[in-house]
């Protein structure tokens, strides 16, 4: 119904040492896009991984075609999400950009890209659709009580201080209109968790509309890399900075 | 205005209203019962907010979804993906 808008989704996958997970993520994405008939491309931005991630990316490019899989290597000592997205976007030909993690934590079921992100975007003509672990049937697998408490506590503090109008600010599974992401990249300067938070806060400032869709976060590495005191301190610093400057 | 700015303005407004009423000189004081309620009001509000915070975080913690299905589905996905990728020639 209405005008048929030509839609192409570019998925940006920043990677570091993901030679095992990368083919699986790509396979899942290709499957869900083909199932829903969505035009897509997957852009892999590798931070000079020493484990052979780039070789795997090149093989995937051969298997699926280089119009579908594009891989770039960025050799950088301090590659942050922001830098990876900037590089990725230079080569993105889609009009929507999906950012996500390449470690299989962002669960992509068969219909998720269409039934989740795209339908939601169309529903409200949103500039951004943010995946949330805290609403609807969104959630997490593999976290103990302590981790969940820290997550909910930090999120509560964020809601009180920033009143951001989005329930999950530190999530990194989102859909952006390409122009919106470009605009935000110019403005956002933080790193890590805080970068994701800053994107949403700046988006609100600039008057962009944000929709939400529940996502499942399957954490298979939590046992190996517990949330450290350092991360909590830098999160608080970042939160207070955003509180004082936005 | 930044969020910090908003908070400071709000606190300044409420603070001065409270101070004007609760700490007024004898000639301009509101009636005694009102003053008695007004004086500890900031503490009460702080405690009330503290209770609200604990209750809210506690509730959200208790209702934090565990994605059992997604985790199980992921295992299936991984098996299928590995098999298919091997077929297509990827060395895993």
pLDDT of residue A4 exceeding 50: no
* pLDDT: which is higher, A4 or B43: B43
Structural domains of chain A ordered from first start: 9-245 (3.90.550.10)
pLDDT at B37: 84
Q: What string of DSSP letters covers A67-108? A: TTEEEEE---TT--HHHHHHHHHHT---SEEEE--SSS-B--
* Span A208-245, pLDDT tens digits: 999 999 999 999 877 666 677 888 898 999 999 999 99
Quick check: A243 and B78 CB within 8 A?
no
Share of residues in chain B with pLDDT > 90 (%): 71
Segment B41-65 shows an average pLDDT of 96
Q: Kindly report, residue by residue over A133-164, the tens digit of the pLDDT.
A: 999 999 999 999 999 999 999 999 999 999 99
pLDDT score recorded for residue A80: 65
Task: Say whether residue A66 is in contact with chain B using an 8 A CB cutoff.
Answer: no
Closest of B57, B78, B64 to residue A217, by C-alpha: B64
A238 touches chain B (CB under 8 A): no
Rounded to two decimals, the ipTM of the complex is 0.90
**Does residue A52 sit at the B interface (CB-CB below 8 Å)?**
no
- Please report residues of B whose CB lies closer than 8 A to that of A161: 3
Q: How far is B39 from chain A (nearest CA, A)?
A: 26
């Amino acid at each position: 119904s209405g005008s048929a808008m030509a839609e192409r989704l570019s998925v940006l996958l920043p990677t570091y040492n993901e030679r095992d997970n990368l083919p699986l993520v790509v396979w899942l994405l290709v499957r869900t896009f083909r199932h829903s008939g969505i035009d897509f491309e997957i852009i892999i931005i590798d931070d000079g991984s020493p484990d052979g991630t780039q070789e795997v990316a090149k093989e995937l490019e051969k298997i699926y075609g280089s119009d579908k899989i594009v891989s770039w290597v960025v050799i950088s000592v301090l590659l942050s999400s922001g830098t990876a997205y900037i590089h990725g976007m230079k080569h993105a030909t889609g009009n929507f950009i999906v950012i996500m993690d390449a470690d299989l934590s962002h669960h992509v079921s068969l219909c998720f890209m269409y039934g989740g992100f795209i339908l939601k975007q169309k529903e409200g003509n949103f500039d951004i659709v943010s995946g949330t672990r805290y609403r609807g049937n969104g959630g997490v697998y593999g976290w103990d009580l302590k981790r969940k408490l820290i997550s909910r506590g930090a999120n509560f503090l964020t809601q009180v201080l920033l009143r951001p109008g989005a329930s999950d600010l530190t999530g990194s599974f989102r859909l952006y209109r390409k122009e919106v992401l470009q605009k935000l990249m110019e403005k956002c300067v933080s790193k890590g968790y805080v970068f994701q938070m800053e994107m949403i806060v700046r988006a609100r400032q600039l008057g962009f509309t944000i929709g939400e869709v529940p996502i499942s976060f399957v954490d298979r590495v939590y046992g190996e890399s517990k949330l450290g005191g350092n991360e909590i301190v830098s999160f608080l610093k970042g939160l207070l900075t955003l509180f004082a400057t936005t | 205005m930044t969020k910090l700015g908003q908070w400071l303005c709000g606190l300044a407004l409420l603070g001065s209203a409270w101070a004007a009423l609760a700490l007024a000189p004898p000639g301009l004081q509101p009636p005694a019962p009102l003053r008695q309620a007004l004086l500890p009001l900031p503490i009460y509000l702080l405690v009330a907010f503290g209770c609200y915070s604990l209750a809210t975080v506690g509730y959200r913690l208790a209702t934090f979804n565990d994605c059992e299905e997604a985790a199980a589905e992921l295992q299936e996905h991984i098996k299928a993906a590995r098999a298919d990728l091997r077929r297509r020639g990827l060395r895993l």
